[in-house]
Amino acid sequence: MKTEHYREFIREAFLDPIRSVLIVDDDYPTFDEILNSAIDEEGRLQTDSQKSWPKNQKRIASMIASFRAPGKPLLVDIHDGKNVTFGAEVASAAHLHQSDLLVIDFELDKARPRDGIRAIEIIRRVSENNHFNLAVVHTIEDLNYVFYSVLAGMMNKSGETLSKKKIEDIEELIEQTEDKNEGFRKLLLDSIAGEQYFNARKNKYTYISEMHNGKEPYTHFKKICEDGKIQKKFLTDILKYLIIKFENGLSFWESEKAPSNLDWSDDNVQWIRSDSVFVAFSDKRKEEDLLESVLAALNEWSPQPARLFLAKIRSVIDEFGVLAQGDALEPKYALAYWYSRLLDSNKQHQRWLISESVSRHSDHLLTSVLKKVDDFALRLIGAELENGKPIDISKLRHKMDLDDADIILKAQREHNSIVCSKPPHGWHLATGHVLQINLEYWVCLSPLCDLVPSQMSMNLIRSFGERLPFTAVKLHPVQNADELVGVQTNRFIFLKINNEIKAFGFNNPEFPDSSPYWQTLFAEKRGVFESDAFKLKIRRTVKGSRGLVAKVSDAVVVSQLRYEYALNLMQKLSISTTRVGLDFVGQ
């Protein structure tokens, strides 16, 4: 199946939005150096700088010119890294993350050969901001060495350990084998390097079995052990020993800021990715087009189509957001009325009005710009279908086989949870909020207008004080969700709770015609959540030893139905509570 077309959509989503480039290289000229330089008889700049750029003016000029191609000239800035050292000084260099593409030399301190700590510190700093950043490490050093150095600098240590007794036993075994086979120790140590170490980090649950099965990149290690007549039972501990030994020679971030979901390449085109930064690598000696180098790395990563859509949304908002903002500001009378309501309302009601106002503004803005994203998606889907079959394309893009029964079941359940529910939001109890009360789950199905704390009527206040009454339906967990049938009968919902997708029935799953179990519950403090948490106290009527009693329980909002699904359940509840009991008999 052809995949060249996908590369161009990656370019459109990630590279076309680039407007500025920052080059951080201690061999590049700064504006101060150029302004203070002289021109010799051959028209070359002469400067007192100890940098090498005067000898490589054409190469540097060509590099900068590549960012200023006709039709899309980029703003290029140069920083020589002289005032960027460690810690707080790196943090003070705020302008380092104000560009769309960062080009950085690995060795920013010529007094420390092969030391890339300054470059790594800058990449760390960039990875901490809230944007998705593109960076390319441009170096004359060996790319494998640079790649592994930057990768280690973006993560914490593995935490792998061996007992002192095991270490002593392994070292004694290695020495005994060395006595019988001279050179064994060196061969063994050399068999575990960056490729093996980072493979073990990426595949921490499977790398031991891969080694025992003789798979790459552990084939050479296993052969050396076999040639040295090392018993199979020692291989696991020896491998761990060598991995720890190699790890001790690397410099790690060792910070809680280190990304937990770091990903990186296994192939020749090297890249590192976290949620906030993508790092490519390029050899200075090859004089490559850096944008094409970044594109090659992005293409090797092969981001999923959904990531392309999201990147396109960001770029469209950035490019056309001002025009869309003009459309959103068109209804001047309504805007004036909304703002006057914000000013006139009391503090509690004001929070609700602000939420509504912001929601309307954002909806208007997105409606204006999403048409361009729709066009992008249509072109992508069209190009995909011209180059392969749907099932093959999906398998390539997501590394999943949707012909597999287990995978398609997981995909369908995940789909169902996304379309009917979402993470909870808001600052007070609202329609569709799913509450966990002790071990039970309840969904709030009162109309939203009855749940606004500031709109609680005087009659309710006189009757219940600060307790907000609301209608809630008890949800019934589906025990064997994988065997669930009748998903489209309007009786079931799917919620993601604690990273697990759970199915619930609106009524008893075993009895399709049963009525939902509902109660009027009371939310303390008018349903306003505790600060920075979706927690509140619920008062409910339960059976006591001498009659009905009011019991107060802690509740937490664990999910939220999308409004159309909550409305559907409200209608079903209304039908159930207003049904007419006809005097029919028989079956």
Tell me: the pLDDT tens digits for 369-394? 788 899 999 999 999 999 888 888 88
Whether residue 407 is contained in a domain is answered as: no
Spatial neighbors of 185 by CB under 8 A, at least 6 apart, are 174, 175, 177, 178
State the SS3 of 467-529. CEEEEEEEEEECCCHHHCCCCCCCCEEEEEECCEEEEEECCCCCCCCCCCCEEEEEEHHHHEC
Whether residue 34 is contained in a domain is answered as: yes
Whether residue 360 is contained in a domain is answered as: yes
Confidence of residue 89 (pLDDT cuts 50, 70, 90): very low
The angle formed by the CA atoms of residues 566, 448 and 463, to the nearest 5 degrees, is 125
User: Which tokens sit at 560?
Assistant: 């939220």
The angle formed by the CA atoms of residues 577, 496 and 439, to the nearest 5 degrees, is 65
User: Which tokens sit at 546?
Assistant: 């001498």
Instruction: Determine which of 130-139, 180-189, 477-486 has the lowest per-residue pLDDT on average.
Output: 477-486
Based on DSSP, count helices (H) and strands (E) in the chain, helices before strands.
Answer: 20, 18
- Choosing from 205, 231, 247, the residue where a domain stops is 247
Whether residue 405 is contained in a domain is answered as: no
Task: Looking at the structure, tell me whether residues 475 and 566 fall in a common domain.
Answer: yes
Task: Looking at the structure, tell me whether residues 557 and 502 fall in a common domain.
Answer: yes
Task: Looking at the structure, tell me whether residues 146 and 185 fall in a common domain.
Answer: no
Cα separation values, 338 from 239, 324, 331, 343, 360, Å? 67, 19, 11, 9, 10
Whether residue 393 is contained in a domain is answered as: no
Task: Looking at the structure, tell me whether residues 193 and 315 fall in a common domain.
Answer: no
What is the predicted pLDDT for the residue at 300? 94
Residue range 172-216, pLDDT digits in tens: 999 999 998 999 999 999 999 999 999 999 999 999 999 999 999
Task: Looking at the structure, tell me whether residues 281 and 374 fall in a common domain.
Answer: no
Task: Looking at the structure, tell me whether residues 173 and 321 fall in a common domain.
Answer: no
What mean pLDDT is predicted for residues 508-527?
Answer: 90
Report whether pLDDT(280) > 90.
Answer: yes
What SS3 class is residue 220? helix
Whether residue 409 is contained in a domain is answered as: no
Task: Looking at the structure, tell me whether residues 298 and 313 fall in a common domain.
Answer: no
Here the CATH number for the domain that contains residue 97 is: 3.40.50.2300
What is the predicted pLDDT for the residue at 85? 53
Whether residue 41 is contained in a domain is answered as: yes
User: Between these two residues, 14 and 94, which has the higher pLDDT value?
Assistant: 14
- Domain holding 233, by residue range, is 164-247
What is this structure's pTM? 0.83
User: Which tokens sit at 448?
Assistant: 């939203």
Task: Looking at the structure, tell me whether residues 102 and 226 fall in a common domain.
Answer: no
Task: Looking at the structure, tell me whether residues 265 and 375 fall in a common domain.
Answer: no
Task: Looking at the structure, tell me whether residues 174 and 137 fall in a common domain.
Answer: no
Whether residue 358 is contained in a domain is answered as: yes
Task: Looking at the structure, tell me whether residues 319 and 291 fall in a common domain.
Answer: no
Task: Looking at the structure, tell me whether residues 274 and 313 fall in a common domain.
Answer: no
- Choosing from 269, 302, 335, the residue where a domain stops is 302
What is the predicted pLDDT for the residue at 238? 96
Q: Based on the structure, what is the number of domains in the chain?
A: 4
Mean of pLDDT over the chain: 86
Cα dihedral value 41, 47, 48, 49, nearest 10: -140
- Choosing from 247, 271, 291, the residue where a domain stops is 247
Confidence of residue 582 (pLDDT cuts 50, 70, 90): low
Report whether pLDDT(94) > 60.
Answer: no
